[in-house]
Structure 1
Amino acid sequence: MLEIDKDKKVLIGCLAGSFLFYHTARQIYSYMSVKPREWVPVGVVKSLHIFPIKSCKSVDVFAFKCTKLGPVMGDLEDRAFMLVEESTGKFITARQKPKLVHVENYMTDGMLEVTVPGQPKLSVDLRKVLQNKRTIRATLFKNLKQDGYDCGDEVAKLLSDYIEEPNYRLIFYKEGLYTERTVIPDDQWWNNPVPKRNDDSGFTDLAPFHIATDASLKVLNEKLDNKITMRYFRPSIYIEGCAAWDEDKWAEIRIGDAHLECFAPCTRCVLTTVDPVKGEMSKEMQPLKKLREFRLVPDGKMRKVHMESPVFGVYAGLVNEGYIHTGQTVYVRYKPTAF
Structure 2
Amino acid sequence: MLELDKDKKILIGCLASSFLAYHTARQIYSYLTARSRQEWVPIGVVKSLHIYPIKSCKGVDLFAFKCTKTGPVMGELEDRAFLLVDGETGKFITARQKPKMVHVESRMENETLFIRIPDKPELAVDLKKVVENGKIIRATLFDNLQQDGFDCGDDAAKLLSDYIEEPNFRLIFYKEGLYTERTCIPDDDWWNTPVPKRKDDSGFTDLAPFLIATDASLKAVNEKLDNKVTMRNFRPSIYIEGCLPWDEDKWAEVRIGDAHLECFAPCTRCVFTTVDPEKGTMSKENQPLKKLREFRLAPEGKMRKAHKDSPVFGVYAGTVKEAYIHVGQTAYARYKPSVF
Superposed counterparts of 1:256-335, under 5 Å: 256-335=257-336
CA distance in 2, matches of 1:155, 1:183: 25
Q: TM-score, normalised by structure 2?
A: 0.88
Asked if the contact 2:107/2:113 (under 8 Å) is kept, the reply is yes
CA drift at 1:268: 0.7
Identity level (%):
69
CA drift at 1:182: 5.4
Asked if the contact 1:206/1:315 (under 8 Å) is kept, the reply is no
CA drift at 1:25: 4.0
Superposed counterparts of 1:194-209, under 5 Å: 194-196=194-196, 207-209=208-210
| Distance 1:183-1:326 versus aligned 2 partners, 3 A rule | closer
CA drift at 1:20: 6.5
1:236-285 Cα deviation digits (max 9, x unpaired): 11110000011111111100011111111111111011111111111111
CA distance in 2, matches of 1:307, 1:19: 46
CA drift at 1:167: 1.1
CA distance in 1, matches of 2:241, 2:179: 38
CA distance in 2, matches of 1:194, 1:80: 21
Asked if the contact 2:214/2:243 (under 8 Å) is kept, the reply is yes
Asked if the contact 1:183/1:198 (under 8 Å) is kept, the reply is no
Q: SS at 2:155's partner residue?
A: helix
Residue segments in structure 2 that go unaligned for 5+ positions in a row? 1-5, 186-191, 200-205
Superposed counterparts of 1:98-137, under 5 Å: 98-137=99-138
Asked if the contact 2:207/2:319 (under 8 Å) is kept, the reply is no
1:187 is matched with none
CA drift at 1:19: 6.9
Partner letter of residue 81 of structure 1? F
CA drift at 1:328: 0.3
CA distance in 2, matches of 1:13, 1:245: 44
CA drift at 1:128: 1.2
Q: SS at 1:283's partner residue?
A: coil
2:79 is matched with 78
The count of aligned residue pairs is: 323
CA drift at 1:100: 0.3
CA distance in 2, matches of 1:35, 1:180: 39
Runs of 4+ with deviation above 2 angstroms:
9-29, 181-184, 192-199
Q: TM-score, normalised by structure 1?
A: 0.88
Partner letter of residue 174 of structure 2? Y
Q: SS at 1:55's partner residue?
A: coil
Partner letter of residue 79 of structure 1? R
CA distance in 2, matches of 1:303, 1:21: 37
CA distance in 1, matches of 2:193, 2:104: 30
1:215 is matched with 216
2:139 is matched with 138
1:67 is matched with 68
**Worse overlay, 322-331 or 122-131:** 122-131
Partner letter of residue 195 of structure 1? V
1:276-312 Cα deviation digits (max 9, x unpaired): 1111111111111111111111111001111000111
CA distance in 2, matches of 1:306, 1:50: 26
Superposed CA RMSD in Å reads 2.6
CA drift at 1:195: 2.8
Asked if the contact 2:50/2:238 (under 8 Å) is kept, the reply is yes
Partner letter of residue 249 of structure 2? D
Superposed counterparts of 1:128-277, under 5 Å: 128-181=129-182, 194-196=194-196, 207-277=208-278
